[in-house]
Chains A and B, each alone.
Chain A
Amino acid sequence: MLKGWALRAPGILTSLKNGEPNKAEGFLQCAHCKKIIFSVDFEQNLSVCPYCGHHHRLSASKRIEITFDPGSFIEADQELTSLNPLDFPEYAEKLAAAVDKQDANDSLTSGMAMLDGVSVAVGVADFHFMGGSMGSVNGEKITRTLERAADSGSPAIIFCASGGARMQEGLLSLMQMAKTTAAAQRCSRAGVPYLAVFTDPTMAGVLASYASVADVILAEPKALVGFAGLRVSKQAGVGKVPDDFQTAEFAFNHGMIDRIVPRKEMRTTLIQLTRMLGGIRKDV
């Protein structure tokens, strides 16, 4: 929703040669520490800079690939596409551009997957698609993911990455906060675990709804986590802004996050948690 934070988290890697995002083998520059990385190393390190440890943003498909059992993900709800119910200026164009560029229908990918043989309901947000913003489609997919978990008994795992509610769908977007939180309540009532992972960035309307009511909240190191854009917070607040303000570490130190988990350990941590909290192993 607010754009201030985008400037604080330069997560874009470009190849040195032509400034184009890297596709094949080559050299990359970490946007955080500016060191040069061989793309194969970068890939093997799960898009974490081997020098400074900066966790670069992942696409939804990459996240699914590195988290769940190979080939186990079955996408659902991909038929849902956004409309422009408010006839909001420039929304249709922005949406079309995002669909075209990201080759996806929305900022959220949902479905079922296996996590070390345990069936899980999955939702993965992609910040590259309109800032991961939550409009009607995103909210519906989150809701369906949590309902699928509640109905099937499979734990829900949601990777958050969002600037907040999607302004262009107005009040409909605000209502997604209530709708998704209601679904989380249904999951809780059914006794099905719901795990949320805050990735860079997890903000505003998403943070103030379904993301913050998960049974367990994990976060990637240094992910931006906050309610309003930094500019707004500065205006509203008196006193000095702490250096780590609105980072996963700040939220962790104030008791809002259970654990900060490096990307390399995320899969293992999720496996252990789903096992202990009630995931049912389906095969082996």
Chain B
Amino acid sequence: MSKTHKEWERPLVELEDNILKLKELAKKEQDLNKKGLLEARIADYETRRDRYVEVMYANLGPWEKTLVARADRRPYTLDYVQAIFHNFIELQGDRCGFTDHAIVGGPAMLDGRGVMVVGHQKGRSIQERQLRNFGYARPEGYRKANRLFEMAERFRLPVITFIDTPGADAGIEAEARGISEAIAASIFKMFELTVPSISVIIGEGGSGGAIGIAASNKVLMLEHSIYSVIAPEGCASILWRQSERGADAAKALKLTAQSALEFDLIDEIVTEPKGGAHRDWPEISANVKAAILTNLSLLDKSNPEEINQDRYSRFRRMGVYNDALGV
């Protein structure tokens, strides 16, 4: 069982690196004969790579999807913001004394109309990862989100949220500043909205930290994203006292987009490019944008009170149980 996406994709990445190196060589090569040979080899490698990608991504299991969802080359919220929206202006601060960088947000233009964007943000470099607290949002992140939701309501801006967090910050300071209350209040605020809201799970939908900004009219999931009540490793450590049995737990938790759709907990799956979102940022951004626009135009048909009621009804029906009265 591979533990990281890098490890799992290593053979593929090595192949891709070799192709790049060969391309460099071919570019420099003066001898046409040798150049031809190199190009033939590149073509052969590319065919093999494509076949490999196809095989690897054809039947991703829950654990492989977990690894792909966490891949650090996968586009993050601000990557989508840059590709999909215009004039995004980040607004910061919880107005209670703190600021958080694991949740970003602000107004932006989407095809000529104003929207409010809020999303979890992970970092790539070591410095940015630390700044973003590895995607673990703090109470002030949810309080900022709450403030931006309220602003969206006031100025009639549809809300678009991007979900990508391993979970909310569970540290001592987060606890002292009321991480639970901040999440709960953010969910509460989302149910007050009469403007349309759409959430897109782009990577990891990690438990309370995810639902904190995902109580929307429409919830979309990327094909290889995950959405779970608990991290598979945490689940494994509770169930079997072995955190390394994450793969088994991922299977038991049914944390894939496909399962979520089956249980009617999400509205749509956004198709990813061959080999995952990280292999083609422009393509996945275009797909996400198209899905947002389609769903927004659907919601545009309802009046504010209907929007609010629709959101309530959407979550109200969630739950599977036996009702002996058969009602």
Query: Hey, which bits of chain A sit against chain B, CB under 8 A?
Result: 1-3, 79-83, 85-86, 88-90, 136-137, 139-140, 143, 165-167, 169-179, 181-182, 184-186, 189, 204-205, 207-213, 226-228, 232-233, 236-239, 241-242, 245-246, 250-251, 254-256
Contact = CB atoms under 8 A, between A and B. Distances in A.
Given A211-B184, A227-B180, A255-B178, A173 B172 contact: no
A175 B228 contact: no
B319 A176 contact: yes
B319 A208 contact: no
Contacts of A189: 192
B169 interface: yes
Contact of B229 (A79, A170, A256): A170
Contacts of A211: 180, 184
Given A2-B238, A233-B175, A136 B319 contact: yes
Contact of A233 (B172, B215, B311): B172
15 contacts: A81-B324, A83-B320, A137-B319, A143-B316, A172-B263, A175-B315, A177-B187, A181-B188, A182-B316, A189-B192, A204-B180, A209-B184, A226-B180, A232-B234, A233-B175
Which label, helix, strand, loop or mixed, suits the secondary structure of the B interface? helix
A170 B320 contact: no
The 4 closest A-B pairs by CB, nearest first: A228-B170, A237-B171, A136-B319, A237-B172
Given A179-B316, A181-B184, A185-B191, A83 B322 contact: yes
A227 B212 CA distance: 13
B318 A176 contact: yes
A250 B179 CA distance: 13
B304 to A, nearest CB: 14
A34 to B, nearest CB: 29
Interface string B303-327: 0000000011001101111111100
A172 B255 CA distance: 10
A165 B172 CA distance: 21
Contact of B322 (A2, A82, A143): A82
Interface in B170-212: 170-181, 183-185, 187-188, 191-192, 207-208, 210-212
B260 interface: yes
Given A227-B168, A228-B175, 11 more contacts: A81-B321, A136-B319, A170-B255, A170-B259, A172-B320, A174-B210, A181-B191, A182-B191, A213-B185, A236-B171, A250-B175
